[in-house]
Amino acid sequence: MQRDEAIYQRQGFGARLGVQGQIGLLIIDFVNGFADPAVFGGGNIPAAIAATIPVLAQARKRGWPVAHSRIVYADNDSDCNIFALKIPGMLTLKEQHPNSAIVAQLEPAEGELVVRKTVPSAFFGTGLSSWLTQHGVQTLLVAGCTTSGCVRASVVDAMSYGFRPVILEDCVGDRALAPHEANLFDMSQKNGDVLRFDAFLKDLDS
């Protein structure tokens, strides 16, 4: 890995973005189905959920805008898409199905946005970008799952829309650790800053 890092550094990747302007928090797909290893979960997702609880508390205490996302398909499967064809089980995530509900520990509060999506990115085909812009967000903290899937897709879109992504290393999880680690490395080189939440707060408060 050190040899790989040297190649990226020599080519100018991995510049630090830092914090600018209003901070927001995006929590991606921490729903019951992804918390359960028997459904879509596993790996380090439970630990990432636990680590996100104090992050959400801090965001609320500091008045940061908070958005959540969940995958929700129509009851009649009329919005079945390529993502669902690739992973047919996703079609079980309906509005009223318990597996599509956000975990109780991170239940949205009044005024927090809940984005319903049918593809990996929380930005694609949703109002998330305009909502964040309306709330003045420039730096976007990202928690959620999976690191290699919906987190990665959302981070790339966040960057593309002009937000500064900060991927909270301890607050993102995947059902397998190899893609988790690989995607953290790649996002840190190309899309945003990757660091633990305690390190982020230390930098912010200093």
For residue 104, with 0-12 CB atoms within 10 Å meaning exposed, 13-18 middle and 19 or more buried, which class applies?
A: exposed
Of the candidates 114, 42, 129, 41, the residue with the CA atom closest to the CA atom of residue 72: 114
First-to-final CA distance of the chain: 31
CA–CA distance, 159 with 70 (Å, rounded to integer): 20
Specify whether 80 is catalytic.
no
Of the candidates 103, 73, 70, the residue with the CA atom closest to the CA atom of residue 88: 73
DSSP assigned state of 148: I
CA distances from 4 to 8, 155, 178 (A): 7, 22, 16
CA–CA distance, 179 with 193 (Å, rounded to integer): 18
- Which are the contacts of 95, defined by CB distance < 8 A and separation ≥ 6? 72, 75, 116
Q: What are the catalytic residues?
A: 150
